[in-house]
Structure 1
Amino acid sequence: MKKRLYILFLLISAFGFSQSMTSSVDSTEIKIGSQLNLILKAKVTLKDHVVFPERKFIGRLEVLESYPIDTIKDNDKLELIKKYGLTQFDSGVYKIPSIAVRINNKEYFSDSSSVRVNDVKVDTIVQPMFDIKPIVEVKKPASDWWKYVLFGLLVIGLGVLAYFIIKRIQKNKKEEAKGFASPIEKALVYSENLEKKSLWQNGKVKEYYSELTDIARVYIEESLSVPAMESTSNELYKALRAETGKRNIKISPSLLNQFNEVLKNADLVKFAKSQPIASEIEESKMIINEFLLSLDKATPRTQEEQDNLFQEEIRIKKAKKDKVIRAVLSIVVVIVFLFISLIVFARTIAYDYLKDNYIGHTSKELLEKEWVISEYGDPAIKIETPRVLKRTVDERVQQNLPPTVKSVGRFTYGSLIDNFSITLNTTTFKDSVALDKDIAIEANIKYLESVGAKNILVKVDDYEPKKGLSGKKAYGTFTVNNPIDKKEYKMAYEIVIFAQPNSAQEFFLIYKDGDKDAEKMMERVRNSIELKKSSL
């Protein structure tokens, strides 16, 4: 019995120690707007399911950032570490309440704690005070989308204009053929125009049948010389039978009878106010067209008619060819316009963009252009440069900061193989950590080696600019292979490290060795450096 109780006690103890949670804060006193970190640690087994809460506020403290969960593995045990970045913008003492962490659908609560948020002291005696200036509304810059639309419309308009100009030129070079090459062509064109009018669809059935039968009568009169327009439907039918028999025109009797029926139906519509349905109207149209085409095909052509048809065929082919020429020439005009625009763009805006981002400007160009003065990092480093330094963010670095580091910043212009490049690294520490400048210089030299620098010569001196804090500098030369032209270049560099109790700034300047303009730029940049001391 004692043995069983002992085993049960061991199981309970093992279960009790298999899951536990602790909490801590990295600071119990901060300034308004500063960040403190709440750290939750859960010790569990590999099989446990753990859920940390996601909130916008913890108590009255705002959650600036909820960091990813870190995991430390020890055999079959896990230590899960969840960090929350908190802040408050009002002074006072604030309680961090217990946080519920769900482990295997059971809630475990962290310890509560408190934090003091202090006011930022403002010296109202030494510093002059001014009235609050009115708010100035800054207009948001308009998007450039309309420029692209306008350019597209310009290109389309240019193409259309070129098309019609070329068409006008082609028309002036030749006289358009007038009339029709044959009676059947005239009949088909009139029939097509009749359908475009949509007469019977709009209730004008009588007008439709009148024009339809007139088209057929005109064709018969012009092709067979039969007085079709003055004949009644019955007289026209008899005349057609007689003429086709006399001229040995082989036309289907059934098709001739169908044509006669259409003529009779037309008479009923015109004189007896008959109202055929839509399918009957469509059938009448098809019979007329089929009859005219069959009659034209069966009728022997005179030499004059054959000549006219041959000329008409040539005219149609020429018209198609002219249309293709117009389209091709219009496209050529558009392509030439785009090509010229591309050249102008490449020689102006695009070339400057490539220089700013890829090729790099010459030292003389940078020296002669207007420079900019900007502040970077916190505490700020003020510097004058030929181009604004761009912030570069490495998410892996940001997510894996050492425990003593609060934030890092990196601002750059150019690269290692450019004519001239500048890099600023700023680091803010959580506590009053003193940066070892010698170790920092060694780390930067190793960084140069990692990015391809060889034959590095290093000289180290103390550095004290005209403005700001004292620092340390390393300078010298190195060689680097340019992957574009496969040549090796000798570069000069200068690294300056500034350290404060809670921050550090690293200043990189690299240029081609022997470049006098770059040396002048280096001196101008160096003389402009101004550091703002940390307020902590």
Structure 2
Amino acid sequence: MYSVFTPRIQHGSFLLKRIVFLCFVLVTSLIAAQENPKITSAVDTTFIKIGDQVQWTVSVEVDSVDQVIFPEGQTFSPLETVEAYATDTTRKKDRLTLQKIYALTQFDSGRYKLPTQRIEINGTGYFTDSLFIDVATVPVDTIAQNLYDIKPLISVEKNNADPWKYLLIGLLILLVLAGLFYWFVLRKKPLSEEEKEALLPPYDRALLELKRLENSKYLIQDEFKEYYSELTTIVRSYLEEDAHVSALESTTGQLINKLELLRDSGELDLEIDTINQFKNILQTADLVKFAKSKPSTAAAERDRKLVEQIVVQTHDALPEPTEEELMQLAEYQEELERKKQKKKLIIGIASLAALLLIGTTIAGFKFGFAYLKDTVLGHPTKELLESDWISSSYGYPPIVLETPKVLVRQEVKLPPEAKATITDIQAFGYRSAVGLFTIGTTSVTMNPEAEPDFGKTLEQIIKGFESQGAKNIITKQEEFTTISGVKGQKIFGSGKFAVPESEELIKGKYTVLLFGGKGFQQYIIITWLDDDTYAQEIVDRILTTVEVKTEV
């Protein structure tokens, strides 16, 4: 039995070993499949016209628990990202296939390299293949239309729409203030009853006041003191205004003596009985006011009527004014009116000046007097700071930053000796019409093996300043990092610079940012006045938006 079954046992052992080996291979292959993600990428075309789009598709096959991060932002330079579509996910058992499509474009003709893209899976970076995209110009029908040379740049006048807008707002405010000034100061307001009564002649006003006294309730309420006080005040005021007798401050005896003297001198034609009646009324009034005497109501009514007769007789006894006196009176009234108007004008102007002064003082303490002056009178860099800023990409390799004005391409001619190492220079710049404020960007493409020499570049920049008349340039240096983490050099300082509108050198500041790598170099230059706080704010804001691409 041993000889019969031994081969079978050996054969079974061989099969067991084979099965174990196959299981090991299978497990190993599964583990390898889980550990090695599969990445593929492709484009729908490698030839487009200017402005057309390339659809770049990347597919990643990973385990269901893996974390995948696709490229974001403008990572396809020199091609521009138009849109990154949402990720499409497909599940097959415990494996996922992630597909993401990017729409890319370019607006200059040429042959461009679509760079490799980094895809991060569980913290490890995997890179796609790079390829070339040909961008062709749009064909022009030269038969249907003629071709012409590019026209040169022409200067245009500055747009004055904004100053006109502020001028109209200022005029509107002045009109409102002028309207308020006229309404409350210069306008002849309707007279009140008291004002109309005050303008009446003394005779008419006295009769009107006596009539009002007749209709009063003094006698009904036994207020004899108030009644006689008002009665004597009316007649005394009339004599002082019309007969020019100082009656208000005189005692009864003094007033009667003055009237008798005027009668005796012929200046006042009054009968002696009238003067005596007036004396009796004044004495009665004194007794009522000081001795608390209380006459009958009929006697009080009679005294009022006698005072009215005295007023009438005195008015009739007064001589008629001469023409000269009437003219003097008219001139006097006109002079009073002029003084009144002048007084109103002075009060109005003083009120307006005080209002402006108070408003200016409050605004000055709140915003600063220098800021207030610049707001009212205008300041070139303040207007730049408060304008609508523009974010754009300049040159190749691109420099991205925000500026208050768009930078204009500058023509740069390469000297023959530089063509051996420099392939192309693209420069853009802006200069304020007033002052020292300037912004400039330069992108330099060199031979692929050439390394950037920051020291030599800085030396050339300083020499450029000096060739334009700058002196006493102070230089400081530190490291600068963009918002995306690209490191570069920042050179900054101060000096005395020349500006076209001034024959003297003015004190200013400058900042230079240098970036670069193998085959390229980028730099940004900004200059501004030393004491221009608005320009300093502009520079600080620009530096927070700087971004550069480090792949050529």
Instruction: Pick the structure with greater CA Rg.
Output: 2
Q: Shorter-chain-normalised TM-score: which range? A: 0.3 to 0.5
TM-score by length of 2: 0.33
TM-score by length of 1: 0.34
